Structure 1
Amino acid sequence: MAADSHRCTSVAAELEGTLLISGSLFPYFLLVALEAGGPLRAAVLLAVYPLAALLGAAFSDELPLLAMTFLSTAGLGVGDLAAVAGATLPRFFLADLRRSAFRALARHAGERYVVTRLPRLLVEPFAREYLGANVRVVGAELRVVGRRFSGTVASPGVAAGADRSLGALVAVLGRDRIVDVGLCSGAAGDRQPAFLQLCQERRVVSTPEKAPSTPLPRSEYPRPLVFHDGRLVCRPEPLVCLAIFLWLPLGVLLSVTRLLLGFLPHGAGLLLAAATGFRIRGELGGATGPAAGRRGTLFACNHQTLMDPVILSTVLRRKVTAVTYSLSSFSELIAPIPTVRLTRDRDRDSRIMQSELASGDLVVCPEGTTCREPYLLRFSPLFAEIAGEVTPTAVRAGGAMFHGSTVRGHKWLDSVFFLMNPAPWYEIRLLAPVATYGGGASSRDVANGVQRTIGDELGFECTELTRRDKYRMIAGHDGVDARSAAAAS
């Protein structure tokens, strides 16, 4: 009976402070300013925010919200903001999603409303993908002039001090309707949003004074978070952003230094890299150097950043050749190892790889693109057709400030950003070689087996997703580099 009573009840919940643990809006506006507008816009927002917050405390709570909305969205194209809302913000929303509130919302199968002080367009992709396709977002509507945002919001909107959430929900529901259940936080001193006046029953989903709020664990996400974009690793609270901006000059210097160390002899490069805080750990698993007069070794590794082949070369202490489909001219220039561009023509690429393998070691990344989360994309089977044996190579990498990969950003700066982290780290593990011929296994079977071997070693989940899926989700295109396409034609 209890379960049945939830099926047709409508529910409304505030996003900030109820569904999300934190009530702060600054991180989301900063992400929009940075990813859609650039670092200068983000710096202006960070500089203005303290003054806006002080004036808001003295006069109106609505002032900081209006200032952040204007500074982060004015002049942005509709497509740019939509891309950030769909590819960058959901990860940060999920990381702050309160488990008790999410479970309370999910128990209701009737009409569900999420009320937010953020612009509706910023929250809707997250709500649709992770809270339910039938969830309606009630938030401020951004005004559009042509195909760009003016930075202002249309009435009624949802403000803070002058709480217009009641009028906003009425505009969605209609004047004669009410909501069965309103979800709220029971933190002492917290304001209760005005829209709760439209709710027959109020339910407290969290009381921080009695027990700390618990984020929703990854295992309970409604759907896996596999792909996301954006440069920042950590949640950009004001003090965190200030620390990042202060770090940038030293970070650029460290990045250039670490790039130059890649051209030194491998032993010296490893020691000096460690001195700069760059941690590299390699487990060779009994791998030996190339024997005279024999073909090189084929390494198949999962793809974390553009530096995967360079770090493998450093760990092996010998040159390896990397094959790539889309590498910028700048990345090719700064690469301390040979790189070979493939054409996406299967027969031609097979001949290129066999030729390179005949003269030395070769490393391939069969996923075809990077994946930041603990998942492996589908492995292309081409590598299993060019050699009798392949060495699976498990790779993990990370940093505390910046991601070393991007889709919509400046890809040519991927390695620079990764090396700008205060203490970037890499782990390379060479696994037991796998035979590609014999036993009746097809190249697809071999590729799937290598994928599972690497996944088991890293604790990553294997998927059937591809590079095309990633680029369509984040950028809206197939991610084919123009130079590779031209070479194949």
Structure 2
Amino acid sequence: MESSTTTSYSVVSELEGTLLKTPKPFAYFMLVAFEASGLIRYTLLLFLWPIIALLDVLGYRNGSLKLMIFVATAGLRESEIESVARAVLPKFYMDDISMNAWRVFGSCEKRVVVTRMPRVMVERFAKDHLRADEVIGTEIIVNRFGYATGLIKESDVDRSVFNSVANLFTDRRPQLGLGRPVISGSQTFLSLCEVSIKKIKCYNTE
């Protein structure tokens, strides 16, 4: 994908609910579960959907995310996850792209994507198709045999993303932040940006 104009701005954009129209990553974990492992893991994740949704409603976003990651990836080789991220996920990401958000994101010179999903599931797509310079996401713990444990390194995902963005822009704040409205009391990368846009639909030029 290419943007017709380029500015010197730096931009940090959320993937879920901003660059992608879908705010929930559940469907992408379902794809990983099915493509890398088959019907049993897919069915188990589907069976757990009501619990995942309830955790979200109750405000336990980290808990629901960690549950999805564990069920979708535990016991898989890291190379199997990478293969799905390379061969399968990009098509579904592309079908879900918000063109309004892409116009803004793609027009900036330095582009950073942040996601609550594991970085391994997003990085190839973001760099190859969105021309992102950096991708910040959760990191799956892999054992010494190359198998995913299903656990992630981050305890508080939003704070980890915040710290990673802050460390990436040590000399100057990112000029533009794209993301969803901030949940009350939570700390997100948007507060680091000089300007944050939370209603990207205002950029619709069609």
Where on the TM-score scale, by shorter chain, does this alignment land: which range? 0.7 to 0.9
- Contact 1:17 1:23 (C-alpha < 8 Å) held by counterparts: yes
Show the counterpart of 1:277: none
Deviation of 1:57 (Å): 2.3
- Contact 2:20 2:98 (C-alpha < 8 Å) held by counterparts: yes
- Contact 1:140 1:157 (C-alpha < 8 Å) held by counterparts: no
Deviation of 1:207 (Å): 5.0
- After TM superposition, the runs of 4+ consecutive aligned structure 1 residues lying more than 4 A away are none
- Matches of 1:60 and 1:15 in 2, distance apart? 20
Show the counterpart of 1:42: 42
Could you give the per-residue CA deviations for residues 80-104 of structure 1, whole angstroms, max 9, x where no partner exists?
1000000100011000100111111
Q: Which amino acid aligns with 2:89?
A: L
- Contact 2:62 2:157 (C-alpha < 8 Å) held by counterparts: no
Show the counterpart of 1:126: 125
Show the counterpart of 2:142: 144
Show the counterpart of 1:116: 115
Deviation of 1:54 (Å): 1.3
Show the counterpart of 1:337: none
Moved more, 144-153 or 164-173: 164-173
- Contact 2:62 2:156 (C-alpha < 8 Å) held by counterparts: no
Q: Which secondary structure does the structure 1 equivalent of 2:41 belong to? A: helix
- Matches of 2:125 and 2:85 in 1, distance apart? 8
Deviation of 1:61 (Å): 1.9
- Contact 1:15 1:114 (C-alpha < 8 Å) held by counterparts: yes
Please give the residue correspondences for 1:30-429 in structure 2 after superposition, counting only pairs within 5 Å.
Answer: 30-58=30-58, 60-109=60-109, 111-132=110-131, 134-146=132-144, 147-155=146-154, 158-159=157-158, 164-174=160-170, 176-185=171-180, 190-191=181-182, 194-203=188-197, 204-207=199-202
- Matches of 2:140 and 2:163 in 1, distance apart? 17
Could you give the per-residue CA deviations for residues 213-262 of structure 1, whole angstroms, max 9, x where no partner exists?
x9xxxxxxxxxxxxxxxxxxxxxxxxxxxxxxxxxxxxxxxxxxxxxxxx
Could you give the per-residue CA deviations for residues 358-411 of structure 1, whole angstroms, max 9, x where no partner exists?
xxxxxxxxxxxxxxxxxxxxxxxxxxxxxxxxxxxxxxxxxxxxxxxxxxxxxx
- Contact 1:115 1:139 (C-alpha < 8 Å) held by counterparts: yes
- Contact 1:74 1:151 (C-alpha < 8 Å) held by counterparts: yes
Show the counterpart of 1:24: 24
Deviation of 1:28 (Å): 0.5
Q: TM (normalized to structure 1)? A: 0.38
- Matches of 1:8 and 1:207 in 2, distance apart? 21
Distance 1:184 1:206, change over 3 A: farther
- Matches of 1:64 and 1:156 in 2, distance apart? 13
- Matches of 1:156 and 1:55 in 2, distance apart? 16
Show the counterpart of 1:287: none
Q: Which secondary structure does the structure 2 equivalent of 1:92 belong to? A: helix
Higher-RCO chain (CA-CA 8 Å, sequence separation at least 6)? 2
Deviation of 1:164 (Å): 4.1
Deviation of 1:37 (Å): 1.5
Distance 1:18 1:158, change over 3 A: same
RMSD: 2.5
Q: Which secondary structure does the structure 2 equivalent of 1:23 belong to? A: coil
Deviation of 1:59 (Å): 5.2
- Matches of 1:46 and 1:70 in 2, distance apart? 13
Q: Which amino acid aligns with 2:168?
A: V
Deviation of 1:177 (Å): 3.7
Deviation of 1:202 (Å): 1.8
Deviation of 1:157 (Å): 6.5
Q: Which secondary structure does the structure 2 equivalent of 1:11 belong to? A: strand
Q: Which amino acid aligns with 2:125?
A: F
Show the counterpart of 1:462: none
- Contact 1:141 1:157 (C-alpha < 8 Å) held by counterparts: no
- Contact 1:156 1:167 (C-alpha < 8 Å) held by counterparts: no
The gaps in structure 1 that reach 5 residues or longer are 215-489
- Matches of 1:12 and 1:197 in 2, distance apart? 11
Aligned residues: 198
- Contact 1:124 1:137 (C-alpha < 8 Å) held by counterparts: yes
- Contact 1:13 1:182 (C-alpha < 8 Å) held by counterparts: yes
Q: TM (normalized to structure 2)? A: 0.86
Larger Cα Rg: Structure 1 or Structure 2?
1
- Matches of 1:169 and 1:86 in 2, distance apart? 25
